[in-house]
Amino acid sequence: MPEHWQRKKVLVTGAGGFIGSYLVGALVERGAEVRAFVRYNSRGDPGLLRMLDARKTESIELVAGDLRDEDAVRAAVKGCEVVFHLGALISIPYSYKHPAEVVSTNIMGTFNVLIACRDSGVERLVHTSTSEVYGTARVAPIGEDHPLQGQSPYSASKIGADKLAESFSCAYDLPVVTVRPFNTYGPGQSGRAVIPTIITQALCREVVQLGNLEATRDFTFIEDTVAGFIQAAENQNSPGEVFNLGTGEEIAIGELARKIIKIIGSQAAIETKTLRLRPRKSEVMRLVSDNTRARELLGWQPSVSLEDGLQLTIDWVKKNLHHYRVGQYEF
């Protein structure tokens, strides 16, 4: 519904991130007036928003701040009709080393967004969760009612944020929905994520170093994920709902690496690097989504196959290798 977004005033937190920057671009294309909230840094770096076409960025209102600053968040929300809350510290390894920062940003940052949206009377808030909140699948595929398991400080912080969103729906009738992306990937993603890690090493090295090779994940192409966010915002009939955004298909990390190496035409070997392993009880061994609710209530379904998505991502990485520190373990 492109007409839904014409001149709609929209705030995107976490706009400089991977999903956030794509979402900003998609909203601008639909005619929305976008305010992009990015984390302040002294370099004035807007993150991945710099990758967008200049014709898109010139219409964006860029706001820098910290989600933990209540006044900054309240000012950013003011005057907006729809809010997409993606801002978070998302690295699991970083959360092992700096749990306090991750918890304060992800929980108090979300609390500030919820309070500001409640007081401003927004018509829709889309809150971003993560498949990591489920932990290792107890049953598969994973539906939204699967138990939540805090197997890392990051996942625990996101569980807390999700429950705050749920509480504001119940206590204040805040029109909030939660989306749970499953391992989004695509062109422009940082080397912190597993697919760019595999691609860059397969292109430049004789050995691809990874963590656990047996863990499975449900990889969803970036354009499909963004479509899910937008459809969640457009749907007015499911306040308080949670929606999985995943393909419903899983692949082991070792098999994924072999698939990418084959597509590239590399002869690279694969090895497990101890540095890249999570603590044993913190490793999430299986994630695969049941996306029935999103399909039935939002009309959403993934359209890009893993093979096609990998090829698009590989082609982009080949042209942009200078953006990556190949082989360096990034938090």
Q: Give the CB-side neighbour count of residue 134, counting CA atoms within 13 A.
A: 27
220-221 and 124-128 as β-strands: parallel, antiparallel, unpaired?
A: unpaired
The answer to whether the bond into 46 is cis (omega within 30° of 0) is no
154 catalytic residue (yes or no):
yes
Q: Which residues of 85-95 are buried (b: 16+ CB within 10 A; e: fewer)?
A: bbbbbbbbbbb
CB atoms within 10 A of CB 98: 16
39, 112 Cβ separation under 8 angstroms: no
Give me the DSSP letters along 116-141.
HHHHHT-SEEEEE--GGGG-S-SSSS
Distance CA 208, CA 5 (A): 43
Range list of H helices, 98-193? 99-103, 109-120, 153-172
Find how far residue 132's CA is from the centre of its chain. Answer: 11
Is there a contact between 38 and 16 (Cβ–Cβ < 8 Å)?
Answer: yes
Name the residue among 233, 243, 231, 237 with its Cα closest to residue 117.
233
**Residue 225 CA to chain centroid, in angstroms?**
8
Among 154, 185, 324, 329, which one carries the catalytic annotation? 154
Contact by Cβ (8 Å): 329, 212:
no
Q: Indicate which residues carry an active-site annotation.
A: 154
